[in-house]
Amino acid sequence: MTEENKPMVSAVDMAKKYGDFIALHPLNVQVHAGEFFGVFGPNGAGKSTFIKLLTGQLRPSKGRIEVLGVDAVNDPQKVKANIGIVPESESPPSFLTPAEFLEFVARLRGVEDMKNKVEHWLEWFGLQDKRDTMCKDLSKGQRQKVMLASAFIHKPKLLFLDEPFANLDPIYQRKCREWLLDHVAEGGTIFLCSHVLEMAERMCNRMAIINDGKVLAAGTVKGLKQSENETLEDVFIRLVGRSIEDVERLSDEGVVDDSEE
């Protein structure tokens, strides 16, 4: 394989156990330059574990992982230095202001024209009036914007996003979506985890659906549908196995009781 078509992300036989609990069964995944790859699954499916393994935040119980050609198991620091990560529900340090945090990240990442870039991203996210407010005093959504800005500021060629839009309003969801799609169009690569299927329809070239730590299906969004009429939600319910009939049955049996009596 030439350097050119070497995958940006490659995991072979990767698995993770927490004690005796199997969070991720052995799986293989490859993501190439210019792809927008998404992993979707219900809560507890193993999505965050998946992303943490690929980004060197967790050691796999077995398997090989290469990210940007670097061995993520033996050299996780080097992987972390070369990628962008927006972890799920993580906040910038409470004792720094958005401007201070972005400056810190920009310096760490060797961003040129640092001061202007920081101001640009504060303005882009509508945070100019919060630039000097301690992050502990920001709203959840504002803290998430700071985290996203800290990833966007150095335009990493490989970006990992874990539920990136959970606290964003629709205006900023759209703005970020457009930025991410432009980034991919320019050759960037994105690996995303979410339970929001709309993100797959709108952004992903390829996706995997996982549940209970197992990959149930993987392919293009179109390829996963059995017919033109099937929605991605239908696919998800079909694969994850919790059909609407099951919910109705449970409701009839009184297990799910939302009656007003």
Q: Does 27 bind ligand ADP (CB under 6 A)?
A: no
Please give the structure tokens belonging to residue 118: 């920081």
126 backbone φψ class: left, alpha, beta (φ>0; ψ -120 to 50): left
Which lies closer to ligand ADP via its Cβ, residue 8 or residue 23? 23
Helix (H, G, I), strand (E, B) or coil at 160: strand
Contact 154, 147 (CB under 8 A): no
Which lies closer to ligand ADP via its Cβ, residue 73 or residue 181? 73
Helix (H, G, I), strand (E, B) or coil at 42: coil
Instruction: Give me the least distance between CB of 94 and ligand ADP, in Å please.
Output: 23
Which lies closer to ligand ADP via its Cβ, residue 154 or residue 195? 195
Q: x/- contact string, 49-68, with ligand ADP (CB under 6 A)?
A: x-------------------
Angle at 36 between CA 32 and CA 37, to 5 degrees: 80
Instruction: Give me the least distance between CB of 43 and ligand ADP, in Å please.
Output: 5
Instruction: Give me the least distance between CB of 221 and ligand ADP, in Å please.
Output: 19
Q: Does 47 bind ligand ADP (CB under 6 A)?
A: yes
| Identified binder of ligand ADP from the candidate list 7, 26, 41, 98, rule CB under 6 A | 41
Q: Cα 75 to chain center, whole Å?
A: 21
Q: Which residues make beta-bridge pairs with 12? A: 64
| DSSP tag of 184 | H
| DSSP tag of 166 | T
Pairwise CA distance, residues 241 & 211, whole Å: 10
Q: Does 192 bind ligand ADP (CB under 6 A)?
A: no
Q: Does 87 bind ligand ADP (CB under 6 A)?
A: no
Instruction: Give me the least distance between CB of 217 and ligand ADP, in Å please.
Output: 16
Q: Does 43 bind ligand ADP (CB under 6 A)?
A: yes
Which lies closer to ligand ADP via its Cβ, residue 92 or residue 213? 213
Host H or E run for residue 86: strand 84-86
Q: Does 21 bind ligand ADP (CB under 6 A)?
A: yes
Q: Does 170 bind ligand ADP (CB under 6 A)?
A: no
Instruction: Give me the least distance between CB of 42 and ligand ADP, in Å please.
Output: 7
| DSSP tag of 206 | E
Size of the site for ligand ADP (CB under 6 A): 11
| Identified binder of ligand ADP from the candidate list 10, 48, 150, 194, rule CB under 6 A | 48
Please give the structure tokens belonging to residue 161: 């996003």
Instruction: Give me the least distance between CB of 212 and ligand ADP, in Å please.
Output: 8
- For residue 251, CA distances in Å to 208, 242, 254, 255, 258 come to 30, 13, 5, 6, 8
Pairwise CA distance, residues 81 & 11, whole Å: 19
Instruction: Give me the least distance between CB of 47 and ligand ADP, in Å please.
Output: 3
By the criterion CB under 6 A, which residues form the site for ligand ADP?
A: 18, 21, 23, 41, 43-49
